[in-house]
Amino acid sequence: MGLSFPFRARHVPVTFHPSLSRKAAEMAVASEPFTTWYRRCEKPQGLQQIEIHSVEIQSVDLFGARGVGFVKINSHCTLVVDGETHREHRLPGICFLRGSAVSIFVALYCEDGSVHSLLVDQPRIPIGQVSCLEVPAGMVDDETETVAGIAVKEMEEECGIVVTPSQLVDLTALACQEAVQAGHLPIAGIPPSPGGCDEFCRYLYLEKKVTVTELQDMRGRLQGLRDHGEFITLRVVPIADVWKISSDAKAMISLFLLDRLRREGKLPPAGELATPLLHPEPLLKLNTGATIQQLAFGLYKVPATEQGEETILDAVAAGYRHFDGASFYGNEVHLGRALRKSGIPRKEFFITSKAWNDSVKEGRAAVRASVEKSLADVGFGYYFDAFLIHWPVPGCFVDAYKELEDLYKEGRLRAIGLSNFSVEEYTTLVESGIQVPPSMNQMEISPVMYRKEMIDYFQSRDILVCAYKPLNRGGALDRPAITKLATKYAVSPAQIMLRWGVQKGLVVAAKTSTASRMPENRALMHFQLSKDDMLILDALTTAEDLRKRVDHELTRKTSL
């Protein structure tokens, strides 16, 4: 049967180029750009309307979320005037169908009074340029998403900036609403090249407040996935120069719309909408393939009371989704209550628990019972994202680990791992013939307890190293080297210590019961410690510190 599509109570025949498979042609006809195109043509526009008689699909490119990326067609269309079709009055019908796009013009209001825009620089083959300065933009290739939702993703992927949909101003909606109502435009978008392409662009606008360091940090930053052919470099450009140096019509249109909308009072004066910059949550990959938030909220000493629940809810509100718990901390019931109360789905959290020494000593059945009890206490989902052996009880940890392996295979534990394991204990475990490699090892690490050899050893085996006591329980915050760097980077001493851990590729599990410290302990992505400053921090740990820690752990383990 021939291909066709429904159009005003009849079927329009579709042919396709011999180089195309029927399957590709069918996909093209069912694709969003194609269906959107003929439905737009279908609508009567005043006394005139477009009549489609036949379509030839010339090419189909498959890529992106919806499968069909670009479709090129040659359509036989005529204009119907006052109900009369003149078949010989053929309209130019070659169309490149690619769907709509969204662009986000960014204005960065810096604390030093300067105003910049953020452009992306990337090679563009269609115009033969290795460098093309453009407004961040993306294709609307996921029809289940809103325009703002797509813009939010683009901002994060292309610019590394976290935005909420409500922070984005839709300039096109403000400018074109009347034209849409009058039937001049099918959507509040502007077609940049209506002679050959179906694209309607939605122009959004974003204002952000930035510090001098944040602005500096964005300059020349590399974005995009190299292995997906995305070679994006961020460029920070004085906003007044954009119209002179950008090779992008989207920039010109955005500037024009901003100017007109402000003059007509449809937009507040420049800078009034600016909100502080938010950075994406740093993520790491576990050897199971799962993603883990690099910044964890430590639960040791969070009280098992209503006050403790409030603390955990404060941590959720501050953005924490990764919680480092343990049966030993005695607060798993309260952790569960708080997380359930937050209303955020279980899958958005990463919850770790640990088997305490008594169960590890008692054997496999006790370890299983301890996992079941912790799961029941938290009472939020049927699984833990990670479950660790809290301490390697000599002679018992291999059996305990093997029980965790079974629970992993049953799907109750999505990752299993270690805590306070030395290289020797890990080697004993591996040599005992385990089947599931540990995903992480948690140990005390901070700039004043820099365990380089341990970190290198486990990281090189694809085992994440999780730093506990990353703030040394507050004990090193007044060290001159740390306070000096805090002044240099205009951050707090705690942020210096935590950022050091982030740059070492560690999961950083800090604890605070003080709500105001939570956003502080998470604001680590707007600055980067230089290589030399990292070395200054590395040097804070002496050989004596390391020896004392190893001795302490040995004594502790032999007394278990």
Ligand X SMILES: NC(=O)c1ccc[n+]([C@@H]2O[C@H](COP(=O)([O-])OP(=O)(O)OC[C@H]3O[C@@H](n4cnc5c(N)ncnc54)[C@H](OP(=O)(O)O)[C@@H]3O)[C@@H](O)[C@H]2O)c1
* 179: exposed, middle or buried (Cβ count in 10 Å: 0-12, 13-18, 19+): middle
DSSP type of residue 157:
I
Instruction: State which residue, 439 or 512, has the beta carbon closest to ligand X.
Output: 512
Question: Which of helix, strand or coil describes residue 101?
Answer: strand
Instruction: State which residue, 11 or 473, has the beta carbon closest to ligand X.
Output: 473
Instruction: State which residue, 176 or 494, has the beta carbon closest to ligand X.
Output: 494
d(CA 343, CA 26): 42
Q: How far is the CB of 469 from ligand X (least distance, A)?
A: 4
Catalytic entry in 320, 329, 408, 426: 329
Q: Measuring CA to CA, which residue among 162, 117, 120 is closest to residue 277? A: 162
d(CA 131, CA 173): 31
Q: Measuring CA to CA, which residue among 187, 170, 173, 160 is closest to residue 104? A: 170
Instruction: State which residue, 27 or 449, has the beta carbon closest to ligand X.
Output: 449
DSSP type of residue 190:
B
Q: How far is the CB of 309 from ligand X (least distance, A)?
A: 15
Specify the DSSP element, H or E, that contains 482.
Answer: helix 480-489
Instruction: State which residue, 256 or 300, has the beta carbon closest to ligand X.
Output: 300
Instruction: State which residue, 235 or 511, has the beta carbon closest to ligand X.
Output: 511
Cβ-contact 365, 395 below 8 angstroms:
no
Instruction: State which residue, 172 or 521, has the beta carbon closest to ligand X.
Output: 521
* Structure token pair of residue 69: 């990326």
Residue closest to ligand X when measured from CB atoms:
298
Q: How many CB atoms lie within 10 A of CB 54?
A: 14
d(CA 153, CA 435): 38
Cα–Cα distances in angstroms (integers) from residue 7 to residues 32, 81, 97, in the given order? 15, 18, 18
Q: How far is the CB of 464 from ligand X (least distance, A)?
A: 13
Instruction: State which residue, 232 or 509, has the beta carbon closest to ligand X.
Output: 509
Is-catalytic flag, 329? yes
Q: How far is the CB of 514 from ligand X (least distance, A)?
A: 4
Cβ-contact 297, 322 below 8 angstroms:
yes
Cβ-contact 481, 540 below 8 angstroms:
yes
Please identify which residue in the block is written with the tokens 């480092």: 324
Cβ-contact 109, 274 below 8 angstroms:
yes
Phi, psi at residue 302, to the nearest 5°?
-80, 120
d(CA 390, CA 366): 14
Q: How far is the CB of 520 from ligand X (least distance, A)?
A: 5
Q: How far is the CB of 370 from ligand X (least distance, A)?
A: 15
DSSP type of residue 560:
-
Cβ-contact 239, 107 below 8 angstroms:
yes
Q: Measuring CA to CA, which residue among 446, 443, 428 is closest to residue 497? A: 446
Q: How far is the CB of 515 from ligand X (least distance, A)?
A: 9
Contact residues toward ligand X (CB under 6 A) are: 298-300, 324, 390, 419-420, 442, 468-474, 477, 492, 494, 509-514, 517, 520-521
Q: How far is the CB of 427 from ligand X (least distance, A)?
A: 20
Active-site amino acid positions:
329
